[in-house]
A = this chain, B = another copy of it.
Amino acid sequence: MTSIAHAGKPASSDPIGFEQHDHGSCISAGLAAAEAHCQAEGLRLTPVRRKALEILLQEHRALGAYEMLDSLRDAGFGSQPPVAYRALEFLVTNGFAHKIERLNAFIACAHPGANHSPAFMICRICDSVAEAQSAPARGALGEAARATGFTIERTVVEAEGICPACTEKADA
């Protein structure tokens, strides 16, 4: 199941991701979830980190670190690469964002708080990214790991292809 789609009425409907959704509420929900989680875990959601998450949620697409840096600078934060990389590292470490290895880019987590191993679908035409759940340890990979004695700690699962919207455009 993908989680780009969001429940609730599509007030400000938005085609980014593979389905329309109430974008305003997904931003505030994401921020609220992060705040709650940090509160609970004693983590510090500092201004830069919060702004970085807000930017990711706002853009609702995979952002390169330097795009993030531009936005952070515009928002009055430092202008050197480590500013962006540190904020992104915090978000990724704590599960508020994910790195898309294939794109060297970052995206807000679509299942904030949930304990999950994410999988991504990346459109090679429009670069949109949707997050789904995966259970790689249960498939062929998990079997291979068990057979060889490899301990899986983290998985990167990214599918590259064509999203529904671009498929339609191509057919037209």
Contact = CB atoms under 8 A, between A and B. Distances in A.
Interface of A: 1-2, 4, 18-19, 101-102, 119, 121, 123-124, 130, 132-136, 138-141, 143-145, 147-164, 167
B138 A164 contact: no
6 contacts: A1-B140, A121-B150, A121-B152, A150-B159, A152-B160, A152-B161
Given A121-B144, A153-B161, 12 more contacts: A1-B147, A130-B148, A133-B144, A150-B162, A150-B164, A151-B161, A151-B162, A151-B167, A154-B159, A155-B158, A156-B158, A156-B160
Given A160-B153, A160-B154, A148 B19 contact: yes
Contacts of A135: 139-140
Contact of A2 (B102, B124, B147, B167): B147
A41 to B, nearest CB: 23
Contact of A156 (B101, B130, B163): B101
A132 B121 contact: no
A127 to B, nearest CB: 13
Given A101-B102, A132-B141, A155 B150 contact: no
Contacts of A160: 152-156
Contacts of A123: 150
B157 A157 contact: yes
B153 A156 contact: no
A157 B138 CA distance: 13
Nearest to A139: B139
A144 to B, nearest CB: 4
A172 to B, nearest CB: 15
